[in-house]
Structure 1
Amino acid sequence: MRQNLARRAALVDAAIEVLAREGARGLTFRAVDAEAAVPGGTASNYFAGRDDLLTQAGGRIYERLRPDDATLAAMSGGPATRARLVELVREVVERVTAFRTGYLALLELRLEATRRPALRAVLTERVREDVEANVRRHLDAGLPGDGDAVRMIYLATNWVVVERLTLPGVFPAEDAGALLGALVERLLPADTA
């Protein structure tokens, strides 16, 4: 297998675009080569097979969805209040929906993972790490609520993202933002003075 890391990353990013646009059934080496604008046969030199490409795409999506250090630092700042948590939840939803193709590709990969144990293992590990990192950051920041509250917010916000990306007319952005605020306010106790 080829080792040019920049080329491999470009091919995996192209695979994400193909997954989002064509679905898992449309993900072929030929489609990835065309999306990456590389000579035919290039992707097959970098990946052992389709399963390898799917698995690497799953890992790459999470790399790209993770906030950078500056974003993490900004998220840790500010008051540890329910209102601040509402802001943070809205910011996360906006950041994730901004990577539209990545999230749509992730939905495709989740469906494909029901048939591919190796892909299921990679996605399970990545999602579990992401959830637990969110819980740790939340608790370390002293924000209101416990780990279960963070997990419930995670589950609810994921579906808000799905609605925003697939059926945006159901909950337009401003309605989704208001619902996220109501979720946090109903889930967590009021701030104490």
Structure 2
Amino acid sequence: MVRNPERRGALVDAAVEVLAREGARGLTFRAVDTEAEVPVGTASNYFTGRDDLLRQIDARLHERLAPDPAVIERLLEAPKDRSLVLAFMRDLMGRALRDRSGFLAGYEMRIEASRRPELRASYMKSVRGDLEYGIEFHRQAGLPGGDETVTVLYLAMRGLILEQLTLPGVLDGVLPGVDVPDGLLERIVETIVPEG
């Protein structure tokens, strides 16, 4: 295997774009080479196979989609109440809208994991780790609500992000007078997160 971290990173980012645009069936080494604008055969020199590429995409998505530590630090200066949770959810939605390809590739990874037992175990561990990190972060930050609050918030946000990225406009007008997505973010947080 070739050892050029910059090239490998560019190939993985190209794979994320292909996965988001074409789905798992379109994720071939040739498609990755084309997206990365490198000679045909380059990706096959960097990855042992499709499973290796998918594992690398998973790792890269964690980097790309993670919150900015400076933003987290700044937000944590605010009172630990429902409005702070809303600020975190706005940050999450903003990241989803800015890196649409990254979030869509994450959803494609979920679908592919449902079909491939060898990917399912590692991807489930990865996603479960993210949820557990979110629960622990919520506890350590002293935010209102407990583990159930975080879990339900996680599920609601996943659904809202999926709708916004795949069918923007489908929620428009469903709740009269509620803007999409910001007004829905407020409703989600008000409904799920206790005041105290």
TM-score scaled by length of structure 2: 0.91
Alignment of 1:89-168 (within 5 A): 89-168=89-168
For 2:195, the equivalent position in structure 1 comes to: 190
Structure 1 position 31, deviation (Å): 0.7
Deviations 1:31-70 (A, max 9, x none): 1011111111100001111121122112211121112321
Q: Distance in 2 between matches of 1:72 and 1:188?
A: 19
RMSD (CA atoms): 1.6
The equivalent of 1:171 in structure 2 is 171
Moved runs in structure 1, 4+ residues, more than 3 A?
A: none
The CA deviation at 1:107 is 1.3
Identity fraction in percent: 50
Equivalent pairs, count: 191
> Which amino acid in the other structure matches residue 77 of structure 1?
E
Distance 1:87 1:102, change over 3 A: same
Query: What are structure 2's unaligned runs of at least 5 residues?
Result: 173-177
Deviation, structure 1 residue 21: 1.0
Normalized against structure 1, the TM-score is what? 0.92
Checking the alignment, whether the CA contact within 8 Å between 2:67 and 2:92 is kept in structure 1 is no
SS of 1:175's equivalent in the other structure is coil
Q: Distance in 2 between matches of 1:87 and 1:69?
A: 14
Q: Distance in 1 between matches of 2:2 and 2:72?
A: 34
Q: Is the 8 A contact 1:14 1:35 kept in 2?
A: yes
Return the offset for 1:109. Answer: 1.3
Structure 1 residue ranges without an equivalent (≥5) = none
Distance (whole Å) between structure 2 residues aligned to residue 55 and residue 118 of structure 1: 10
Query: Amino acid of the residue matched to residue 174 of structure 1?
Result: D
